[in-house]
Chains A and B, each alone.
Chain A
Amino acid sequence: MKSSILTVTYALSAIAVGLAAETQTVDFSRDIRPILSSRCFNCHGPDGASRKAGLRLDHRDNAIELEAIVPGDPELSYLIERIITNDPDDRMPPKGAPLSAEEIETFRAWIDTGAHYEQHWAYVKPDRPKPPKIKPVDWHQSNPIDHFIQRRLTEHGLQPSPPAEPAVLIRRLSLDLIGLPPTIEAVAAFERDPSEVNYEAFIEHLLDSPKFGEKWALHWLDLARYADSNGYQHDDLRSMWPYRDWVIRALNADLPFDQFTIEQLAGDLLPNPTREQLIATGFHRNVPTNFSGGTKVEEVRANVLHDRVSTTGQVWLGMTMECCQCHDHKFDPIPQTDYYQLYAYFNQAVPEVAQKGKAMFKKLFVGADLPVVASPEDGARVMEIIEQMTLEKAALEKAKPWALAEQPGWEKEFLASGRGESIPWERFPWNLRGGYQMLKIPAEKRSDNEKRNVEALLFYDHPFTGPYEKALDMLKDTRDTLAPRTMIMKDQEDYVPTNLFIRGDYTSPGAPMKPGVPSVLHPLDPEYPMNRLGLAQWLVDAENPLTARVTVNRFWAEIFGQGIVSTPEDFGYQSPHPTHPDLLDWLALEFVEGGWSMKQLIKTIVMSSTYRQTAAVSSAKIAKDPSNQWLGRGPRFRLPAELIRDNLLAISGQLSDKFGGPAVYPPQPAGLWKEISGADDTFYPTSDGEDRHRRGLYTFLRRGNPNPMVLNFDGSNRSACVTKRDRSNTPVQALNLLNDPIYVDAAREFEAWIERVPGNDQTRVISAFRRALARRPSQSEVAALIAIYQKHGNWFSVAQVLLNLDETITKS
């Protein structure tokens, strides 16, 4: 990134970590704009509606015109006068603490040297930075990443750490690439030959594993807010698993990220889209949808579209645009009109829900969908069913006139019989018991609609036609179970006009808006179509300064625990300055020039010495950089919920390697689905056999009441796009791993495994330890485990201990 470094020097205490005073120059992006943005822009920034005194500190010309800033003369600048005054009525900013002495000095220095503004770094296309030439610290120099990292380490008086021991390194690599621990054999092989060649071969092996996609999909599904139910009241179930499987397959095939983007945002608009490309568009159908009766259809639509704009902004642009629904962005240069231009792209889509009848408890889904089957066998079965249905339908049509001939008599008999009590009313299009009432209206007074409804009831109930109707119902149920319909994106044929919503209120339309992209970024290529496809192409356009940076930053954060920009969803004015801006740019350009290969990006990162450092360092070293932002040691942090599950089941030997398909229902505490308000689906169909032990990403995710373990370990209910999960550390997590029947069962299986290990107690303990943690145990570790084995006389306690260690659920 370019930054015009000014030449004045001053003491910058904010950066000083263990350094008394460092000579630094004022950098507008790093030093000035963050203060302006967080303390001044609220009243003197981009949002016209809340601007005070007509002063804009985000516009140099305006600030100079109003003499807030007199370049070269801090003492004549009102800005300085107002921030240094002791008069509380005059002092700026009016709320919160006054600016610190250092901040004031920074402003003085900046004005003194001309008060130069520059475009925010993230909105300027990166230049390819040269990796700095640094005196090598013997081993810590294997690829360019290390040069960037080591320069910062040196600046902060830190040293890199030596490589992790082979067993620990190979476990870290395996957890990062496939989300599972390595086998003891793989560990032993790498210990015998921890060469560069062997390390790279192991990386290639993991990248080729089908489990790679299962691990990395987890992260993407958080962004895509993937779930298996609608959310809100009722929280009906949906079949979006084909989309989930598409993500896994796309990652395994290393679909280039630009294509990965285009297919998910606009696969339906590609020429002759394949089924897979249509399924990919499930990305934006994953949005939670409110079906409760009193909700207005237009309100649901606006909420769904707002979510799509907001998610797109966070995932691809690192732009947080939610506040632009109602007004111009307070901090970032995104006017409200930009927001509704993006909204217009999504507004072309067919509506999500519709109201049938005057008032209903529930809305109906009306968006586009696609039938899918989990296996070729299911596909063949569905074809058979469809044939059978054709036959039943023909027979039904033949029988209908016979039933109609008996209608008057049937009506009387039906009303008298009380059979109405046992009719499954929900199968009829008019829903509920209302249909019953129509029979009481004299036949000649019925509307056409009512006539049709009564006939539908006749056909269902009359012995001439009823058996066919019922057979068709059953066949349809089976067909829908075997070939559920997954939701895909579709645009309406006719142009849908978009209006800005005044104050974000969908009932107050303002100026008409056309599709368009944020004005602060590169313009749209006129060749691009004016639809979602054009938007997707613009996002992955070579001119886009954000998409590649935002993407590599998230991959970096997955591996190192935090991004180079620590707010993955926000690269705006308010975001913290990147810890390694030139590295971010280097990675972004490598990524794009390497054909947007996600596997290559991961490989580049894990091949670095930075990645291979040990995390086992002294307290003194940790104290110098507690959050490890300068990366003077290897990453060490707790695994996410789903990977904890996968690891414990892998250690116990229970983990199924079955790929994809409908979500599964591993055991969970009873009654959780019954708690969901207004839900029709209250029965949790606990899986049998292998499906109890599938990987965590296949567990059914019910938004209204997710599996407790997922929430206990900071997983998301996927009600909104999640770019970064917490990593809490709570007693409820301990209870979960110690007492949840799933992990008790895992400990029993692990116990049985330990018993089968040949040799004495000591060799058993070492094997079990290696299986859980890859590395060899120390003498004291062995002694502690043997002690509890001897005291309890069984291996169950040892198994439980090993499954509950901090190190077992942590990437070290």
Chain B
Amino acid sequence: MTTDHLIPARRQFLRNGTLGIGSLALSHLLQEEVKASATSKTYVMPHAPKAKRVIFLHMVGGPSQMDTFDPKPALDKWDGKSLPSELTRGQKFAFITPEARAIKSPYKFAPRGESGLVMSELFPNLARVADDLTLIRSMQTNEINHGSGELFLHTGHGRLGRPTFGAWASYGLGTENEDLPSYVVLKDQHPNAGPAAWSSGFLPSKHQGVQFRTGTKPLFYLDNPAGVSRSQRGDVIDTIGKLNSLAFNRYHDPEIQTRIAQYELAYRMQTSVPELADLKGEPDHILKLYGLDGTGPGGDFAKNCLLARRLVERGVRFVQVFNKGWDHHQSIYTALPRSAQKVDQACAALLTDLKRRGLLDDTLVIWGGEFGRTPMVQEHNAGSGAKTPPGRDHHKECFSILMAGGGVKGGVTYGKTDEFGFGVAENPVHVHDFHATCLHLLGIDHEQLTHRHQGRDFRLTDVHGHVVRDILL
């Protein structure tokens, strides 16, 4: 499948371009468009999309499901005892042994909202939007390490080299705003997998996630060199365009036309991107909502949530937000609540804000980590073996994620884990199924969105994946 996303790009330039393209070039561009649309296959949606865009809030490290969204009262009884060996035998763990003792959750769970969605006391703000959430308690993955687990969550494969979900979305659906990248990455810290977590893999590299850094200079190289004014820069771009047009008259290579357009777009981005990233223009009540007025925890994650809204509002297809700090090998008593407190208000604010603007209906918001954590305790340092406050180890057999908006039901809980929270008891949702479902919401049949590489048609879901229809509106 090939899609020529430059077609709308060219139209956009012709409409918005502040700098001139010669009339000859213009007619050529139009011809190119006609030709391209006649020869390129574009992705034909098998069904109407419910979601037009995605915000994926990745809680890097793997939140503990037993302490957040999956209550396990049975662990109260098993606290301090080893789990039945038939359950743990042969399982891979990162740092603990299968005989490690179970540990109960110190947190209280209660039904929230009209729907009665059950979650722990760690998320008082998310509790208020419970009726907008689909909670999946039966997620499963293949990996027990952060780097490979993150890759699996984003690419459906545990090793380097595959395209990420966002890249597939950009590849399949293109962009709604040619003045911005279709796939933007926001983070407080790098995830463990680094840029591989927003790579385009073997897809064309224009579909890789573009990192927006916090602050008013989100992209590298946005500023003119010292002493160069905006109008001088305009002259330079204009002259580059003139000479490139003359080169076009020699070579007639359409790439030259694209280059002219991209320089003009770069010029516009020098003002549009800082404006977009500047949160000062947001009214006080919005800053307060996200906790950015000094009353809430604030921080980069809250800023990134607000920026994510501004990005989807402007037509960015996929916003990937990373929040690091969920790898609680140590202390589910003190460290875990701090992590939850850092994100709770901003996550709820994002949903509320999107909803008020009518954007939640067609924006899919996802919250979750790359895997879950063990019902068993880890109380030693992985390096020295020294004793540490009780935490939990990595766990791939089950974990919980949240979804909201974009065509998923609200106030719904899907899937069940066993009494210990060790394995899935009902309705497993493997990461491949999760991908299939998200693509479905975007109007894409996960088996049809393919790219030929190394002699075969690759897809996000490899050779797996089932759409979880029960959570769809």
Residues on A lying within 8 angstroms of B by beta carbon are 95, 231-233, 235, 288, 290, 292-296, 303, 314, 320, 322-323, 330-332, 357-361, 431-434, 437, 567, 569-570, 572-575, 615-619, 621-623, 626, 636-638, 669, 675-678, 703-706, 708, 711, 714, 717, 719-720, 726, 728-736, 738-741, 744, 778, 780-781, 784-785, 787-788, 791-792, 797, 800-801, 804-807, 810, 812
Could you say which of A293, A618, A719 contacts B196, with CB atoms under 8 Å apart?
Answer: A719
Closest-by-CB residue of A relative to B448 is: A96
Shortest A576–chain B CB gap in Å is 9
- B383 close to A314 (CB less than 8 A): no
B402 part of interface (Cβ distance < 8 Å): no
Shortest A122–chain B CB gap in Å is 11
Per the bound structure, the CA–CA distance linking A805 and B237 in Å amounts to 10
Per the bound structure, the CA–CA distance linking A465 and B148 in Å amounts to 44
Shortest A577–chain B CB gap in Å is 13
Shortest A397–chain B CB gap in Å is 29
A235-B194, A288-B160, A784-B242 given as contacts; is B145 within 8 A of A797 (CB)?
A: no
- B221 close to A735 (CB less than 8 A): yes
Shortest B248–chain A CB gap in Å is 8
As a 0/1 sequence over residues 81 to 92 of chain B, the CB contacts with chain A under 8 angstroms (1 = contact) are: 000000000001
- B382 close to A359 (CB less than 8 A): yes
Top 8 A-B residue pairs of the complex, sorted by shortest distance between their CB atoms = A294-B94, A434-B384, A320-B454, A734-B266, A719-B160, A570-B455, A574-B455, A739-B221
- B454 close to A807 (CB less than 8 A): no
Please give, as numbers and ranges, the residues of chain B lying within 8 Å of A570 by CB-CB distance: 454-455
Per the bound structure, the CA–CA distance linking A576 and B310 in Å amounts to 44
What would be 23 A-B contacts, judged by CB atoms less than 8 Å apart? A290-B147, A292-B145, A293-B383, A294-B144, A294-B145, A320-B456, A332-B455, A616-B252, A622-B254, A636-B251, A675-B194, A678-B192, A706-B195, A717-B199, A726-B204, A729-B255, A729-B258, A729-B259, A738-B236, A784-B242, A792-B235, A800-B236, A805-B247
A623-B35, A739-B225 given as contacts; is B145 within 8 A of A784 (CB)?
A: no
Per the bound structure, the CA–CA distance linking A744 and B220 in Å amounts to 14
Shortest B196–chain A CB gap in Å is 7
- B160 close to A720 (CB less than 8 A): yes
Which residues of chain B (168-212) have a CB below 8 Å from chain A?
181, 189-196, 199, 204-206, 208, 210
Shortest B381–chain A CB gap in Å is 8
Please give, as numbers and ranges, the residues of chain A lying within 8 Å of B194 by CB-CB distance: 235, 675-677, 703-705
Shortest B334–chain A CB gap in Å is 21
- B455 close to A575 (CB less than 8 A): yes
A676-B190, A714-B205 given as contacts; is B222 within 8 A of A739 (CB)?
A: yes
- B220 close to A708 (CB less than 8 A): yes
A785-B239, A804-B263, A805-B243 given as contacts; is B383 within 8 A of A360 (CB)?
A: yes
B99 part of interface (Cβ distance < 8 Å): no
Closest-by-CB residue of B relative to A791 is: B235
Could you say which of A293, A358, A678, A804 contacts B240, with CB atoms under 8 Å apart?
Answer: A804
- A677 close to B192 (CB less than 8 A): yes
Please give, as numbers and ranges, the residues of chain A lying within 8 Å of B341 by CB-CB distance: none
- A434 close to B386 (CB less than 8 A): yes
Closest-by-CB residue of A relative to B151 is: A232
Please give, as numbers and ranges, the residues of chain A lying within 8 Å of B239 by CB-CB distance: 784-785, 787-788, 797, 801
- B385 close to A358 (CB less than 8 A): yes
- B386 close to A437 (CB less than 8 A): yes
- A728 close to B206 (CB less than 8 A): yes
- A574 close to B456 (CB less than 8 A): yes
Per the bound structure, the CA–CA distance linking A744 and B228 in Å amounts to 11
Per the bound structure, the CA–CA distance linking A706 and B196 in Å amounts to 11
Shortest B277–chain A CB gap in Å is 15
- B262 close to A734 (CB less than 8 A): yes
- Centre residue among B148, B239, B244 by max chain A CB count within 10 A: B239
Per the bound structure, the CA–CA distance linking A522 and B14 in Å amounts to 58
7 additional contacts (CB under 8 A) given A295-B148, A730-B206, A735-B220: A232-B193, A292-B147, A294-B145, A572-B455, A732-B210, A738-B236, A805-B247
Could you say which of B146, B243, B386 contacts A784, with CB atoms under 8 Å apart?
Answer: B243
B354 part of interface (Cβ distance < 8 Å): no
Per the bound structure, the CA–CA distance linking A748 and B163 in Å amounts to 39
- B191 close to A792 (CB less than 8 A): no
Please give, as numbers and ranges, the residues of chain B lying within 8 Å of A615 by CB-CB distance: 251, 253
Please give, as numbers and ranges, the residues of chain A lying within 8 Å of B247 by CB-CB distance: 805-807
A331-B456, A705-B190, A784-B239 given as contacts; is B161 within 8 A of A720 (CB)?
A: yes
- B454 close to A801 (CB less than 8 A): no
- B240 close to A622 (CB less than 8 A): no
As a 0/1 sequence over residues 5 to 45 of chain B, the CB contacts with chain A under 8 angstroms (1 = contact) are: 00000000000000000000000100100010000000000
Please give, as numbers and ranges, the residues of chain A lying within 8 Å of B394 by CB-CB distance: 294
A323-B456, A738-B221 given as contacts; is B382 within 8 A of A293 (CB)?
A: yes
Please give, as numbers and ranges, the residues of chain B lying within 8 Å of A303 by CB-CB distance: 159
- A669 close to B205 (CB less than 8 A): no
- B221 close to A740 (CB less than 8 A): yes
Per the bound structure, the CA–CA distance linking A778 and B452 in Å amounts to 43
- A731 close to B195 (CB less than 8 A): no
- A622 close to B253 (CB less than 8 A): yes
- A731 close to B253 (CB less than 8 A): no
B250 part of interface (Cβ distance < 8 Å): yes
Please give, as numbers and ranges, the residues of chain B lying within 8 Å of A95 by CB-CB distance: 447
- B161 close to A638 (CB less than 8 A): no
- B255 close to A801 (CB less than 8 A): no
Please give, as numbers and ranges, the residues of chain B lying within 8 Å of A740 by CB-CB distance: 220-221
- B252 close to A806 (CB less than 8 A): no
Could you say which of A322, A618, A744, A785 contacts B454, with CB atoms under 8 Å apart?
Answer: A322
Please give, as numbers and ranges, the residues of chain B lying within 8 Å of A780 by CB-CB distance: 246
Please give, as numbers and ranges, the residues of chain B lying within 8 Å of A711 by CB-CB distance: 195, 205, 208
- B384 close to A717 (CB less than 8 A): no
A359-B95, A705-B190 given as contacts; is B146 within 8 A of A292 (CB)?
A: yes
Shortest A225–chain B CB gap in Å is 10
B115 part of interface (Cβ distance < 8 Å): no
Could you say which of B181, B205, B206, B236 contacts A797, with CB atoms under 8 Å apart?
Answer: B236
Per the bound structure, the CA–CA distance linking A805 and B246 in Å amounts to 11
Please give, as numbers and ranges, the residues of chain A lying within 8 Å of B225 by CB-CB distance: 739, 741, 744
Please give, as numbers and ranges, the residues of chain A lying within 8 Å of B195 by CB-CB distance: 704-706, 711, 717
Per the bound structure, the CA–CA distance linking A621 and B269 in Å amounts to 35
B265 part of interface (Cβ distance < 8 Å): yes
Please give, as numbers and ranges, the residues of chain A lying within 8 Å of B160 by CB-CB distance: 231-232, 288, 719-720
Shortest A468–chain B CB gap in Å is 27
Shortest A714–chain B CB gap in Å is 5
Per the bound structure, the CA–CA distance linking A292 and B243 in Å amounts to 52
As a 0/1 sequence over residues 361 to 383 of chain B, the CB contacts with chain A under 8 angstroms (1 = contact) are: 00000000000000000001111
Per the bound structure, the CA–CA distance linking A73 and B448 in Å amounts to 34
A292-B146, A294-B144, A320-B454 given as contacts; is B262 within 8 A of A619 (CB)?
A: no
Please give, as numbers and ranges, the residues of chain A lying within 8 Å of B265 by CB-CB distance: 731, 734
Closest-by-CB residue of A relative to B196 is: A719
Per the bound structure, the CA–CA distance linking A719 and B200 in Å amounts to 13
B256 part of interface (Cβ distance < 8 Å): yes
Please give, as numbers and ranges, the residues of chain A lying within 8 Å of B224 by CB-CB distance: 738-739
- A735 close to B270 (CB less than 8 A): yes
Please give, as numbers and ranges, the residues of chain B lying within 8 Å of A361 by CB-CB distance: 382-383
- Centre residue among A232, A292, A616, A740 by max chain B CB count within 10 A: A232
Per the bound structure, the CA–CA distance linking A810 and B255 in Å amounts to 10
Please give, as numbers and ranges, the residues of chain B lying within 8 Å of A785 by CB-CB distance: 239, 243
- A616 close to B221 (CB less than 8 A): no
As a 0/1 sequence over residues 249 to 285 of chain B, the CB contacts with chain A under 8 angstroms (1 = contact) are: 0111111101110110110011000000000000000
Per the bound structure, the CA–CA distance linking A437 and B380 in Å amounts to 13
Closest-by-CB residue of B relative to A720 is: B161
A330-B456, A705-B195, A806-B259 given as contacts; is B235 within 8 A of A797 (CB)?
A: yes
Please give, as numbers and ranges, the residues of chain B lying within 8 Å of A703 by CB-CB distance: 194
Please give, as numbers and ranges, the residues of chain B lying within 8 Å of A295 by CB-CB distance: 145, 148
- B262 close to A729 (CB less than 8 A): yes
Please give, as numbers and ranges, the residues of chain A lying within 8 Å of B193 by CB-CB distance: 232-233, 677
Per the bound structure, the CA–CA distance linking A636 and B189 in Å amounts to 41
